[in-house]
A and B are shown apart, each in its own frame.
Chain A
Amino acid sequence: MLRAAALIAGKDLRIEARSRVATNQVIPLAFCILLVFAFALDPDRGTLTAAAPGLFWVAVLLSTVLGAQRSFSVETADGTRDALRLSGLDPGGIFLGKSGALAVQLLVLEVLLGVGVVVLYTTDLRPEGVALLVVAGLVTTVGLATTSTLFGALSAGLRVRETLFPLLLIPAVTPILIGATRAYEAALGTGGADTSEGWPWVGLLGVFALAYSAFGLVGFGALMEEQ
């Protein structure tokens, strides 16, 4: 299963590295979203700094929608989805591989967006919050990647996938958005929050990531074969 996962993840990442859609379109769009937030809110009164953790994760979530749709559109374009199904690879492995490749892309995006938030929204990092930032970021990314891979497989190949996928994904990942935002507020000390307040949220994010990973490992085969 792990070998299948590595194969699929390697394939997806190679496609992304060669097509450069993520670097040339998704990352610039994410930056564009950061700018738009500043236009919508007042950048001079500290509103942006106070809302920075939430805005960061909203930008990540919107980029996830694009990234995950892309991850499945490369499978449907030339009927490679059928080839993938017939390849005899373990469905759980395919699920892990696709989620893994998406998670790697999201992590790169998060690092870049993080720099953007620090620079554009006047956010200061606290040394005691760095561990929380990293751990919460990792767990959140796993949760986002597994959920969107599941919903991506569910809506792949359908004529209405562009509109159906965000409708399914966004309400389902609300716990992630809330948890990740609160954890990042604690890590950054937004509104005088203490770092210790963030760790319970990491627990919740972990439960979410585990639940969806387990569901994906078991249910992905059924989703792959039904179309």
Chain B
Amino acid sequence: MTPQVTSTGTKATRVIGALALVGLGWLLLFGLVLSPPDENQGEAVRMLYLHVPTVWLAYLAFGVTALGSIFYLIPKTRSLAWDRLAGASAEIGVLFTGLTLVAGAIWGRITWGVYWTWDARLTTTALLFVLFLGYLAIRRLPATPGQRAKRCAIAGLIAFIDVPLVHLSVTWWRTLHQPATIKTIGDVEISGSMLFTLFVGLIAFNLVYIWLMMHKMRVMMMEDALDDHGLELALEERRAEAELQEVVP
């Protein structure tokens, strides 16, 4: 029997949530006010403080999904907790990949003059986004938790094997075939305070990830418990009907 969970919040999530909020506030202060503009990119460099943490979280989240999938597939460690870890992480990963693509496009427009270029990293990220949208589609299919977990673990691993191949092919495609079309306005020179701001951003976003993961995994646990409960109720109703029919033939 799954333990009764009535709320997704605990003391731990509240503390982490508060820390994440403080971190984000700090990031806003440092990113928008205290850190200097870049020599080449000017104010546009502030996108860096959003872009780097989101892309880091996206890759971290997909890595966690792969780990969860592997641990679920190993018979010794098989547990629905691994499946929930993988599923929750994939959802957050897709969210942050989406944010990365949007923030990257805006930054690209400002610095390169175009929203999109067929650069290896951009193309890989876009494909990663679609690959894991497929994974989420599989998660939403009606199935028992066990079926869903196995199906998703396999799909998660397939997606994970695919990532290096996609990256390699796209990199070769862009480097061997055509010269890169991007003309950057000089690289960003990272100064001390900029590095510190970036560091603040990474910590804040990691806290957001942990906070979201804890809530999402609890939501998933409650969904499974609700399904079980619904099944029990339905069984009881059928039994009650059968008993009624016996009494009143």
- Chain A positions near chain B (C-beta within 8 angstroms): 150-151, 154, 158, 160, 164, 167-168, 170-172, 174-175, 178-179, 182, 197, 200-201, 204, 207-208, 211-212, 215, 219, 222-223, 226-227
Contact = CB atoms under 8 A, between A and B. Distances in A.
Contacts of B106: none
Interface string B135-159: 0011001000011001100110111
B168 A171 contact: no
B126 to A, nearest CB: 9
Contacts of B166: 174-175
Contacts of B150: 222, 226
B169 A174 contact: yes
Contacts of B146: 226
Given A164-B138, A182-B177, A226-B147, A175 B165 contact: yes
Given A171-B134, A172-B131, A204-B172, A226 B151 contact: yes
B248 interface: no
B133 A172 contact: no
A208 B166 CA distance: 10
Interface string B149-190: 011001101110110011011101100110000000000000
A150 B162 CA distance: 13
Given A154-B155, A171-B130, A182-B172, 5 more contacts: A160-B137, A172-B159, A175-B166, A178-B172, A178-B173
B124 to A, nearest CB: 9
Contacts of A158: 141
A172 B151 contact: no
B127 interface: yes
A65 B154 CA distance: 20
Interface of A is mostly: helix
Contacts of B130: 167, 170-171
A204 B165 contact: yes
Contacts of A227: 147
Among B133, B157, B169, B176, the one with the most A-chain Cβ atoms within 10 Å of its Cβ is: B169
Contacts of B165: 175, 204, 207-208, 211
Contacts of B73: 222
13 contacts: A154-B154, A168-B137, A168-B155, A171-B130, A172-B131, A172-B159, A174-B170, A175-B166, A182-B177, A197-B176, A204-B168, A204-B172, A219-B154
Nearest to B153: A222
Contacts of B168: 175, 204
A182 B173 CA distance: 8
Nearest to B128: A171
Nearest to A172: B162
A207 B151 CA distance: 24
B141 A167 contact: no
A160 B172 contact: no
A16 B168 CA distance: 36
